[in-house]
Structure formats: C-alpha cells, structure tokens
C-alpha cells in the first residue's frame, strides 16, 4: 500500500480517472457531484487534458460520444435528473459500442427530487435508462477507496468490452472524506481501437460510427451480436462481497453506502446470536446472480435507499428459493442499523 491521502469521494473519482488515462471530461453542474467537475477543471489544463463545461447534460454526453468515437478515454458525471437528460446519449453510446465512463452520484427523485443521497436510480442504471435493447456495466462502490479502484476498472472494462460503464455512487459517497491510496489502483489497460473515427490518413478504409439500421434484419443482427457480448460479461464479470452466508438464516443484500449500515446491523445481529449473512453486489449489471443460487437462507432482505428496486433482481437471482423482503428509506433518508435489525427480527418470526 502506498501513501494514504484524505479525500472527498467526488474528487477521488477525478484523480483516479486522470491516473487511468482519462484526459477528456465533459460536465455540467449539478449537486451533489459538482466537486468532480471542479477537480477536473483545475487538473486538466496542467496535464494537457480537456475539461469542457457543456451547455447542457445532453451536450455533455454527446461530447463524450464524439470523444469516444475519436478513440480517447472520455468521462462525464452527473446526478439523477442530469442522468435522465443524458439517457438519450447513453443509448447512442451503447448502440455505437463506444467505451466511456459515466458517473451518477445519485440524489433523491423522481423529478427534481432532492439533493440528499439516494439509490433510487437502480432501475434506470441496470435496465438501460434510454431506449432500445442495451445494458451498461454498472459498478457500485461502498467506500472512497473502492470508488477509486472501480473508476480505474471502469475505464479498463469499457475499453475491453466496448460497453459504456456507469459508476453508480450516491450523495454520501460523493461528499464524504476517507483515506484513500492511489498507488494500488489497477493500471490502465488500453485496447486497440481500429474502429475509431480518427481520420483515415489515406492509409485505411473509412470508419463509420453509426446507429441507424433501416433494414430490420440488419438491426436485429447487430442487437443480437451485442447480446452475445452481454452474455460474456454476465458470465465473467459478476462481482460481489459475501460473508457469513454458510449458516445464515437470513442474507442481507445492499450496495453502495447502504452496505456500511448493513455491516453494523449484521454485527449487532450476530452478537445477539442471530444468523445473518451478507451478499453485497459490486456489479449491479451484471447482477451477481450465481452466488444467490449457492446459498440457502430462510429469507433474503434487500436494504436500499429507494422503495426497493433491487428486490426484483434478488428474486430473479435466487429463483424464489426463499422470500425476498425489503427494508429501506427513500427521498434522501439513510436507514439506520436499528431499523435493519428490527426488520430482520420481524422477518425471522414470519419465516420460522
């Protein structure tokens, strides 16, 4: 481990992105992620990079589309309402098989919602958000250190699979300060990009980045080709953290900052002799479904800062081997360990 520095989550994403070879950042101000833009605009001119404050979220994501089409590592960040605006561009990025990293530091919704931390964009992130048959790779860190590791992974994975990657945080992760070590982050692995629109230099045939296929069978073929790629990602990329699952009567799932609340709750429960275990998805897409088929609790519990959007994925993953319950708060309210403990006790009375 190298030297640790105390850093705000949003700024740590920026530093990790720069260390991962990102030199093109296109942003638009929105709370609670603006510190990332502020960090980038200070750093980029010093390292020959580009920071551009776009006229809108829509323009920012389309600048990313242009930069990604030109073959560079590009990034944009926003928070929930801004991601809705970017969703058009995200659909095109997916359709163009263009690598890039999109950060969503989630706040409460729908509509303008609030500016407090939330996890209510789970459906939007994991189901696509924009139109058409597509997925993003969605990474959900639970600490500033993991935010940094996953930022580096995000660029590498995006290049490797030519799939846009979303880093899904929340207002707490973005705003809180924690010690973080940058020396141990994954090295950039750059992919060859022979498909990029860089100008032919009269040395190769022209490259075209296109997303319109008027022939139905041709479009179907392209979509199914991408689906094969998604199958590979589903097979190879399921990431999670699990513990205390072997003897567990109940397995609690949560991601991001909520998992820190759950850790405290599980400690309390175990101290009281209640057999609680943990599966924490780190990739939300692909969802780590394999592990859910290997465990045999009496019940699952999803703890989220939403109205329970991950419940469906757990149900699908465990194939209803046990009932899936929900405990959470929304609108920017963070659940407490006591609420989780109480919910677990109530559930175990029911499923006994």
Partner 1 sequence: MSKTIYAKPKSLTDTTFRYCPGCSHGIVHKLVCEVIDELDIQGKTIAVEPVGCAVTAHNYFNFDVVQAAHGRAPAVATGIKRSLPDRIVFTYQGDGDLASIGTAETVHSATRGENITVIFINNTIYGMTGGQMAPTSLPGQVTQTSPYGRDTHTQGYPVRICEMLATLDGPSYIARVSTDTVPHIKEAKKAIKKAFENQINGKGFSIVEILSTCPTNWGMSPIEAMKRLQDEMIPYYPLGVYKDVEEVNE
Binding interface with partner 1 (CB under 8 A): 24, 26, 50, 52, 54-56, 58-60, 62-72, 74, 88-89, 92, 96, 197-203, 206-212
CB of 27 to partner 1, least distance (A): 13
Residue 106 contacts residue 304 (beta carbons within 8 Å): no
213 or 230, CB closer to partner 1?
A: 213
96 or 337, CB closer to partner 1?
A: 96
Alpha-carbon span 103 to 169, nearest angstrom: 8
Residue 173 contacts residue 139 (beta carbons within 8 Å): no
DSSP-derived 3-state class of residue 246: coil
CB of 65 to partner 1, least distance (A): 5
70 or 268, CB closer to partner 1?
A: 70
Whether the link from the prior residue into 42 is cis, omega within 30° of 0, is no
Task: Spell 53-64 as b/e; 16+ CB within 10 A means b.
Answer: ebeebbbbbbbb
CB of 139 to partner 1, least distance (A): 23
CB of 87 to partner 1, least distance (A): 11
Residue 149 contacts residue 116 (beta carbons within 8 Å): no
Q: Could you give the C-alpha distances from 106 to 121, 201, 245, 285, in angstroms and in order? A: 7, 43, 29, 16
CA-based R_g, the chain, Å: 21
Alpha-carbon span 311 to 297, nearest angstrom: 16
Per the rule left: phi > 0, alpha: psi between -120 and 50, beta: everything else, 348 is: alpha
Contacts of 204 (CB under 8 A, 6+ apart): none
**Which H/E stretch holds residue 35?**
helix 34-43
For residue 117, the 8-state DSSP code is B
CB of 78 to partner 1, least distance (A): 15
59 or 333, CB closer to partner 1?
A: 59
Helices 80-95 & 57-69 angle (0-180, nearest 10): 30
49 or 109, CB closer to partner 1?
A: 49
The tokens describing 8, both together, are 């705000």
59 or 223, CB closer to partner 1?
A: 59
Cβ neighbour number for residue 206 with a 10 Å cutoff: 7
95 or 305, CB closer to partner 1?
A: 95
110 or 132, CB closer to partner 1?
A: 132
88 or 181, CB closer to partner 1?
A: 88
CB of 305 to partner 1, least distance (A): 32
CB of 241 to partner 1, least distance (A): 36
CB of 89 to partner 1, least distance (A): 7
CB of 76 to partner 1, least distance (A): 10
209 or 223, CB closer to partner 1?
A: 209
DSSP-derived 3-state class of residue 105: strand
CB of 159 to partner 1, least distance (A): 15
Residue 297 contacts residue 347 (beta carbons within 8 Å): no
């Amino acid at each position: 481990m190298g030297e640790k520095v105390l850093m705000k989550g949003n700024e740590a994403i920026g530093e990790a992105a720069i260390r991962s070879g990102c030199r093109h950042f296109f942003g638009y101000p929105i709370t609670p992620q603006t510190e990332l833009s502020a960090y980038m605009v200070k750093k980029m001119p010093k390292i020959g990079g580009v920071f551009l404050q776009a006229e809108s979220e829509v323009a920012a994501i389309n600048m990313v589309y242009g930069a990604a089409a030109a073959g560079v590592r590009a990034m944009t960040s926003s928070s929930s309402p801004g991601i809705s605006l970017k969703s058009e561009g995200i659909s095109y990025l997916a359709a163009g098989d263009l690598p890039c990293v999109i950060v969503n530091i989630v706040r409460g919704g729908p509509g303008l919602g609030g500016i407090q931390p939330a996890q209510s964009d789970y459906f939007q992130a994991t189901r696509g958000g924009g139109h058409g048959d597509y997925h993003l790779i969605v990474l959900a860190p639970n600490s500033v250190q993991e935010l940094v590791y996953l930022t580096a992974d995000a660029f590498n994975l995006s290049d490797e699979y030519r799939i846009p990657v979303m880093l899904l945080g929340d207002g707490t992760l973005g705003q809180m300060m924690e010690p973080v070590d940058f020396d141990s982050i994954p090295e950039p692995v750059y992919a060859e990009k022979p498909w990029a629109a860089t100008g032919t230099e009269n040395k190769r045939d022209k490259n075209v980045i296109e997303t319109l296929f008027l022939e139905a069978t041709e479009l179907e073929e392209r979509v199914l080709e991408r689906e094969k790629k998604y199958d590979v990602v589903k097979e190879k990329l399921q990431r999670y953290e699990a513990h205390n699952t072997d003897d567990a009567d109940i397995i609690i799932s949560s991601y991001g900052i909520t998992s820190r609340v759950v850790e405290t709750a599980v400690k309390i429960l175990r101290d009281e002799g209640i057999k609680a275990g943990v599966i924490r998805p780190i990739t939300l897409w692909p969802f780590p479904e394999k592990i859910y088929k290997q465990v045999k609790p009496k019940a699952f519990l999803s703890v989220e800062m939403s109205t329970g959007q991950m419940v469906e994925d757990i149900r699908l993953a465990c194939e209803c081997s046990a009932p899936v319950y929900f405990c959470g708060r929304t609108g920017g309210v963070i659940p407490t360990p006591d609420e989780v403990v109480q919910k677990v006790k109530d559930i175990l009375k029911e499923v006994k």
